[in-house]
Structure 1
Amino acid sequence: MLTSNNDPRQYRHIVLNNGLEVVVIHDAHANKSAASMTIGAGHFYDPEDTQGLAHLLEHMLFLGNEHFPQANGFDALVSAHGGHVNAWTGTEFANFHFDLSNEAFELGLAQLAAMLMTPLFDAERLSKEIQAIDAEFKLKLKDDLRRLYQVHKETCNPAHPFSKFSVGNLETLAKDDIETLQNKLRAFHQRHYVASNMKLCLLTAQSLDTVSEWVHRLFAALPDSTFIRHTDWPPLYLPEQLGINIAIKPIVQARRLIISFALSEIESSYRSKPVALLSHIIGDEGPGSLLEHFKASNWATSLSAGGGIQGHNFKDFNLNLQLTEEGLQHVDDIIECVFAYLALLDKHIDEPWRYDEKVRLNQLALEFGEHGKAIDEVAHIAEQLFTVSAEHVLVADCLLDQPDIPLVRYFLSQMNPDNMRIKLIDPDANCDKHARWYNTPYRVSPLSDEQRQRFRHPRTVDTLCLPRKNPYLVERTTCIEQEPQHGSPHQLIDTSGMALWFAQDHDFGLPKGDCYVSFDNATTAASLSLTTAKKVWVALQMESLTQRYYQAAIAGLNFHLYAHQAGFSLHTSGFADKQLGFHQQLLNDLRQLNTTPLAFEQIKRRHLQALKNSLLNKPINRLFTRLSVLLQRNSYAPADLLPEVERLQLADIQQVHEQLFSASFIESFVHGDWSSHEANAFGQSLQQDWDGVATGQRVPRDVVDLRAQHRYVHEVDCQQDDAAAVVYYQPPGQSLKDVALTIIAEQLVTAPFFHHIRTEKQLGYLVGSGYMPFNQHPGLALYIQSPVADAWTLQMEIKQFVRECLQDPRQFVDIWPKVQESVYRQLLESDTTLSMKSQRLWMAIGNPQLSFERQNELAEAVRSLTFDDITRYCEHLLSDEQFGELVLYCRGNKQLASPIEGQSITDIRAFKSNARYML
């Protein structure tokens, strides 16, 4: 198998006698082991009379098998060993994946093999799981992405399996008796869950030989079969479904235009990537780009190119635009501009340097790319094995060794009006149909002869031009000499208004790095109006920087400007070569307010739309957003920000711009493949450039103190039907021991809480718990969103579960050592990427935790805990002794069965102004 020259891992490709194809990855530094099995059987293979069956099967496999009959036993196992397990059912594939500690990997694989081979399909559990599927379906009834997706399904070829209802609900899954449904599940399972239709990928610190032996022993019993997966689908679209307009009415205030071209399949061209080249050029955001033209015309504010559904023999190429109100009146003008750009591209696509540049970018991504999370990697590789040769499966995403300009031209030729579908998402759309299941209003009409003629022969747009050669391509790709004394962060600058920290990378051996510069400004942090103006200022500046330096990001010089409670930060990352100078250039650009009245109005309207749409988020999201607002001093609710944004004028942006660059505390961190000399030079430039600004103090990130106070209750308005509740516990202290106890407590309750509320009680699909610290202050949250119960019932169920679960901690005495060891090992995990380490160190600087050993210290605090500590923690939480408690809830469409006890927070500002705070 081809790999990157800089990849230290070992790989092995195995094909068992039964036909199962396996990739085993040995990573000596892996903190956890991960596994993923992909099955070539998604919802495309559902029987016509039981749509959603593949999705139901995915759920049922977790509910017991012959070897491990306990429902959700797999969840309990991986949770006890510091891992996660999940699954999904897509169009052509289903996937199961998990991670957990290296020591428990063999047991995890045994569970995976058993659940895939010998499911029980217990009648009682099946009946309950249909309810869970229905709750999942109802959860998405007001999700516009799902609603638009259903319109897509209804406007394609009804003979193509894409048109099927993938999720399932009571109507499709409960129309048969349980015995009949069991037989259908068994038949589907026996037909598709066979070795020749499955691909497995494993990543672990265990040796290749050891894991190979496990694979042969555990998965050899998968049934062999001569089964050949059907992929000869009919055309995705009939002729009358191309060359059409589709108007769709959303729930949220969104104005989008999706121009979609039906292309041939692209899976076989992964070594030439013709469509990726087209996406790269059409999606450009720099000078002369489509997006620049649309912004200048006040028609659109964003554009992405290349997305869209794809499968074995189909591919949609989408141009997705966020429109302005004026843009809604110029849809045909926008589409004509797109075809003018495509005509321009057709004239210049033969220029060899364009492909050469893309080849170079892909080579850099392949050689110096960083591995992602192990669980994500194995899931991706297990699916790739169905479409890519084993030789290339590890590098297929970046491999570009067979450039093919004629193939690019072939796909470009398919981008024509007769092969196009136009989707216009408009809140005022005039519709005459409603999509089934999600009740989405829409209308379909053919392109007029005038439209076809106009798009076939577009007028030239003089301002449009293709991207020029990228001036930011990296030159230095070798690492500098290491300086042993600079392997951990230390200060190069320490003055009253400025601090600069530096650490050289001694772990990853990549010519990359991260540079952070943060401005704390007390005046803008403490004012709602200035905080609002600051958010819009950040968006305006980021818009300007992106347009100017889009090619830098393409070349691996990434940048991100973001607002935080105390001010704002600029973060650059990627290749070290040229980065520090680039960061200085960005900072200098920020000193100028590079905007126009038109750009201001576009950003302002975008913010208003985002704030209004946030009020339509699902209840559980609304509650967690409000939790952050209530507990953090300088955080504000969308409902409070809305009127401020509406009142905002360009003069207010100028005022906050001047304020941000006066009396600020500037803190910076340089980490990566740089010498101390380079870091010192960067610091000296900062001092010279910002001498008159760096005169402020660090702004504290304090948190509301709920402890030993009342039980607080807060209602959040929500326009969705489901009720929801979050119960948040704030422990009595913030020492390492308090943090360790809270993390352990959350780990102990997470699996039983999910099983009790979701599986046994069937109260809802969104159920869970989480360790939720605010600025290192520990916290524990349990949550439920439910289509069947009211908010009073939900918070009572949480309270009752906590009471029954914690009043006898002895039930945890057997699992407690495993959880303790798992958490201990997780805390000792090394950073898997350079950027991850940079972010961890930067957060330590900001907190501040200047020993930079908090993870290790916390690990030791976990290891030193005794079961008596856990028992006392549970007793204190149950007695409310020194614990703070906050209940947040949404009513949905249900009246409260009874008032929720506690001191009600009705005025957020008054609550926060009267609250005590913890630093």
Structure 2
Amino acid sequence: MEPSNSLNHFTDIIQSPTDHRSYAMVTLANGLRCTLVHDPKAELCTAALAVAAGHFQDPIDTQGLAHFLEHMLFLGTEKYPSATDYQNFIHQHGGHHNAWTGTEFSNYYFSCEHSAFDEALDRFARFFYQPTFNANWLAKEVHSIESEFQLKRKDELRRLYQVHKATANPAHPFAKFSVGNLSTLTQDGSTHGLAKHMRTFFDTWYRANRMTLVLAGSASLETLHSYAEQHFTAIAGGGPVVQAETQPLYLPEQLGIQLNVQPLKDARRLILAFALPGIDHDYPYKTTSFIAHVLGYEGPGSLFAELHRRNLINSLSAGGGISGSNFKDFNLNMQLTDEGLQDTDTVIEHVFAAIRQVQQQGLEDWRYQERQVAIANAFRFQEPARTADLAPQLAINMHHYQPRDLIFGDYRMERLNTDKAHELLNLMTPERVRVTHIHRQVAVNDYEPIYGTNYRVTALSDAQQQRWQTPAAGNMRLPKANPYLQPLQAPLPLLATASAIPEYHHVSQGCRLWLLQDPDFRAPKAHIYCQFTLPQATASARHYACARLWCELMIDRLNEALYDAEMAGLHFNVYPQHYGITLHLSGYSNGIAALACEILQHFLVTEFRQERWHDLHQKLQSNWQSALANKPLNLLFARLNVLLQPHMYALSDLAAAVAEVTPESFADWQNDLFQQAEVKLFAHGDLTWQRVSPLLQQLTSNFPLMANLQAGVPPTRDFAELKRSGRLLERGHIETRHHDHAALLVLQGASCDVMEQTVLLLLNQFIQPHLFSQLRTHEQLGYLVGSTYMPIEQRPHVLLYVQSNQYDAQHLSARIDVFMQGFTEQLLVLADEELEAIQRALIRQLREPDTNLRLRSQRLWSAISQEQVVFDRLEQMAQLLESHTTSFFAEKMLTKLSDQSRQGFITAKPKEL
């Protein structure tokens, strides 16, 4: 079908030089605005539709309706009435789907194989003009919403968010409860009238003129346009015009306040929120972003550095906070130390001093120009996102940016808008601030009933207001020019010997290098991974706890000194793993090796300040002790790693171990840390031997390296080594401080053989939709139901899991067992119907090319970090899938499912108090 207005495509969209895609925009007759993206390299086709309707549009007596509607749209249309048709079709054609509901927008998106895109669009588009709202699914899906709500009852962010809503203007739609639950969506449990409310909401707000659509894939722009007209012109237009909210977010008495909030977990946080007007129209200037950059600077002399030097805060971030069509909260979010907790007024005084300093001295063009250079570098050499990830983002961007700024809008910084900056800074005053204290011991006198959070609101005292109106400046100073920042040049010429496989170099005893000058992603960027195998870091829970503390202290120590490098696009991280400690650097290639040398020098000579040691030691101990309040499934995944991997330790063991560590014993441990060390190094991107040779010299000259330390690490544990009670693995049951139960069934491969990996990977793809359909959609056991493939040291595992607030772990395990029995009995029949398409889609996924340098670095490093380095494992798996029939794999999977000797449960339940 040839589009009727093919000559009216808008194509003047600003793109990065690294972006190989073609773009066009067109508006359909019903008012639906579409962006078309031709990507000849796309492995999947993608559609995303964003509608200007979210929980702000909820009726006051049916809060959560927008979120509930999002769920119901997936459960059948007139042409495809089956509740699982859409999900099954997408999965069988190698894709994925999702959706979210926000304050003022909702977003729906999917990806699938090229050959199925037309059919998938036929199913997807009907969500928006032909939903059935099947009455048989209303009650079930209400309980699904209730399960989702219960799942998040102890989520600290949601609890804080709901207190925020309870203390805002009740006439502003932000005050509504966004998620919904059984109480808000039903009348005493009855769904009578819900379908009518939902239909009215849908007919009012889900109109083409309030929607944006993105279609992306390898098809031509003209073909994508024809798909848009064919499938989406049936959506009704003529909806209400999108307008900004008119009610203020806060009433006058809700500003100039202190808000105390009691968390469930140990926390010491201080948030200063300044109420500003909406900033959508300021996107070409990014004024709030610029102010956040100057206030949030963490280099020498900064607000952060001064408060950190006084040991009042551990971290500071500036500029976050909720935003919408007529409001923006500008937040300064700080994690306090014990000392800071006792002296919050001084912390706040320094914040106001910094704000006044920025207003009086910081609004200078050269500072803004530095941000322009950094952002221009980021745009010019941006790493392309996968088209499947890009489409949902563009659908939202279409609601906020001019057409030419569809992509560039996130980067556009035209000039310093001084008038706007003064306007915003003039609003950042003590009488307009909302000060939030988050700590278990704060005084409270009120109760938020939805999430059960205790809080208190009081007006700031006259003494506080007066002190902060004329704050003492202290020793703070504004940032100097960034010595690391410069406009980037083109990458180094590609060497004639360049290939797609890292080149191995035996540098010296105990030092091995894999070097790859990337032939495809031609940008001045690089990644360096430096893995130290350190027996001193992994020998026991105490050793591992010390290693984690050392990494936290090292990052804390380096953060201020290297903040300018961070702002210029050079990033680093230091983290422990079950071999030892890894340093990862990423960013612009010019200077990355020198930065690595600088950091490694600190590894050997750094002494940590005693007050920082004590504070981070306490923080780490508290985090581990409170971990039992985390989601049960997260704890089960962590427990599985402890059971099966060497040198992994339970969080409770780490908490107990770190409690016994003293500054003196830590210093003794640190002195021995690098006495036995082996290094694996991976340098990838715009790098050559000449660029990395100073780093090699640093390693071989300053570290006492020795070979084959990693070879001594034992392999992954076999289930045969674990005692079992029935099907429950030894130490496979944990008691949590979370109210949900969870069960996880582990299927373990017999070896690290590539065939074994291929069979279990295919089994996971095959079983996923059936497990979800049975246990989540039909039985409604819980909101979190699924399966995943997880290789542990290349040993393949398939994990089937359910988390529930309604059923206990024993019941969940029993239902998984019943499902497994039924699936095993039907496997050969189901394989005849489905497996060929799944096998074909998996081959495509395994051969999907890397979309950017970061993803390629991660993939190659995951191979290098193993004891056995194999780069073509994914291709080997794809070849096995190509060379064997579906019946061959069906029989293999049947054997796996029938062998219960390599299966076992781990479970979690709430701890009895």
Q: Where on the TM-score scale, by shorter chain, does this alignment land: which range?
A: over 0.9
Give the match for residue 314 of structure 1.
Answer: 327
Take 1:734 and 1:492, find their aligned partners in 2: how far apart are those partners?
26
- 2 CA distance for matches of 1:447 and 1:475? 46
Pairing partner for 1:587 from 575, 600, 607: 600
Pick one of 619, 624, 643 that aligns with 1:606: 619
For residues 336-374 of structure 1, give each alpha carbon's deviation from its aligned partner in whole angstroms, at most 9, with x where no partner exists.
110111121122123221011011111111111112343
The match for 1:13 is: 25
Give the Cα–Cα distance (whole angstroms) in 1 for the partners of residues 534 and 170 of structure 2. 59
Of residues 200, 204, 210, the one that matches 2:213 is: 200
Q: Deviations over 1:751-799 (max 9, x none)?
A: 1111111111111111111111111111011111111111111001011
The structure 1 residue matched to 2:896, chosen from 871, 874, 877, is 877
- For residue 481 of structure 2, what is the amino acid of its counterpart? K
Distance 1:526 1:448 in 2: 54
C-alpha distance in 2, partners of 1:707/1:111? 47
> Is 2:423 the partner of 1:410?
yes
User: Structure 2 unaligned runs (5+)?
Assistant: 1-12
1: CA distance, partners of 2:750 / 2:398: 51
Please list, as runs of the form range in 1=range in 2, the aligned pairs for 1:391-470 lying within 5 A after superposition. Answer: 391-461=404-474, 463-470=475-482
1:867 corresponds to 2:886: yes
Residue 617 of structure 1 deviates from its aligned partner by 0.3
The root-mean-square deviation of aligned C-alpha atoms, in Å, is: 1.8
Partner of 1:486, secondary structure, is: coil
Match of residue 133 from structure 1 = 145
Q: Does 1:626 align with 2:657?
A: no
1:72 corresponds in structure 2 to 84
Following superposition, the deviation at residue 874 of structure 1 comes to 3.5
Q: Where does 1:264-275 land on structure 2 (aligned, <5 Å)?
A: 264-275=277-288
Q: Name the residue aligned to 1:898.
A: none
Q: Is the Cα–Cα contact under 8 Å of residues 790 and 894 in structure 1 kept in the other structure?
A: no
Structure 1 residue 613, shift from structure 2 partner: 2.3
- With 517-526 and 304-313 compared, the bigger mean Cα shift is at 517-526
Q: Quote the Cα distance in structure 1 between the aligned partners of 2:209 and 2:79.
A: 23
The corresponding residue for 1:915 is none
Which segment is superposed worse, 95-104 or 744-753? 95-104
Secondary structure (helix, strand or coil) at the match of 1:303 reads strand
Q: Which moved more, 1:153-162 or 1:662-671?
A: 662-671
Deviations along 1:518-540, whole A, 9 cap, x unmatched? 11022432222211111111111
Contact 2:18 2:384 in 1 (8 A): no
Q: 280, 300, 308: which one pairs with 1:287?
A: 300
CA-to-aligned-CA distance 1:642-700 (integer Å, 9 cap, x gap): 1211111223332333323212111111111123333445434432333x334562253
Structure-1 residue corresponding to 2:876:
857
| Letter matched to residue 811 of structure 2 | T
For 2:912 and 2:430, the matched residues in 1 are separated by: 49
Deviation at 1:381, TM superposition (A): 1.3
Kindly state the Cα deviation for residue 291 of structure 1 after the two structures are TM-superposed: 1.8
| Partner Cα distance (1:535, 1:851) in 2 | 29
Deviation per CA, 1:1-47, whole angstroms, max 9, x where unpaired? 11123322111111111111111112222222222111111000011
The 5 A counterparts of 1:695-774 are 697-699=709-711, 700=713, 702-707=715-720, 710=724, 711-713=727-729, 714-774=732-792
Q: How many aligned residue pairs are there?
A: 892
* Number of the residue aligned with 2:8: none
SS in 2 for 1:304: strand
Residues 343, 286 of structure 1: alpha-carbon distance in 2 compared, 3 angstrom cutoff: same
Q: What does 1:39-118 align with in structure 2 at a 5 Å threshold?
A: 39-118=51-130
Aligned to 2:345: 332
Q: TM-score, normalised by structure 1?
A: 0.95
Q: What one-letter code is carried by the residue in structure 1 that aligns with 2:36?
A: V
CA distance in 2, matches of 1:473, 1:213: 46
2:248 and 2:363 map into 1 onto residues whose CA distance is: 31
Separation in 2 of the partners of 1:268 and 1:766? 39
Does residue 22 (structure 1) correspond to residue 22 (structure 2)? The answer is: no
- The verdict on how the C-alpha distance between 1:21 and 1:651 changes in structure 2, with shifts beyond 3 A counting, is same
Q: Distance in 1 between the 2:318 and 2:245 partners?
A: 28
TM superposition shift of 1:628: 1.1
| TM-score, normalised by the number of residues in structure 2 | 0.95
Cα distance, 1:851 vs structure 2: 4.6
- Aligned equivalents of 1:647, 1:733: Cα separation in 2: 39
1:812 corresponds to? 831
Instruction: Tell me how far apart the structure 2 counterparts of residues 576 and 807 of structure 1 sit (CA, whole Å).
Output: 55
Deviations 1:547-598 (A, max 9, x none): 2101101101111111111111111111111111111111112111231111
Q: Does 1:823 align with 2:842?
A: yes
Task: Spell out the pairing of 1:483-498 with structure 2 (5 A cutoff).
Answer: 483-487=495-499, 488-498=501-511
* Superimposed CA distance per residue, residues 691-746 of structure 1 (whole angstroms, 9 cap, x where no aligned partner): x3345622536211115975443211111222111111102232111111111111
Distance verdict in 2 for CA 1:100–1:659, change over 3 Å: farther
Distance in 2 (CA, whole Å) between partners of 1:718 and 1:195 is 47
User: Secondary structure at the residue paired with 2:550?
Assistant: helix
Structure 1 unaligned runs (5+)?
Answer: 896-919
How far apart in 1 are the matches of 2:27 and 2:636? Answer: 49
- On the 8 A contact 1:492/1:680 being kept in 2, the answer is no
The answer on 1:785 being equivalent to 2:774 is no
Deviation at 1:750, TM superposition (A): 0.7
Contact conserved, 1:534 with 1:656, CA < 8 A, in 2? no
The separation in 2 between residues aligned to 1:81 and 1:718, in whole angstroms, is 39
Q: How far off is 1:273 after superposition?
A: 0.5
Give the distance between the partners of 1:688 and 1:27, measured in 2 at CA: 48
Q: Distance in 1 between matches of 2:261 and 2:309?
A: 26
Pairing partner for 1:299 from 312, 336, 348: 312
1:251 matched residue in structure 2 = 264
| CA–CA distance in structure 1, aligned partners of residues 477 and 294 of structure 2 | 10
More deviation, 522-531/414-423: 522-531
1:251-308 Cα offsets, whole Å, 9 max, x none, are 1111111100001111101110110011111111111122222222222111111110
Residues 851 and 627 (structure 1 numbering): CA distance in 2 closer, same or farther, change over 3 Å? closer
Q: Note the 1:510-521 alignment, pairs <5 A.
A: 510-521=523-534
What corresponds to 1:834 in structure 2? 853
Percentage of identical aligned residues: 35
After superposing on structure 2, the runs of 4+ consecutive aligned residues of structure 1 that deviate more than 6 Å are none
User: Is contact 2:317-2:334 (8 Å) kept?
Assistant: yes
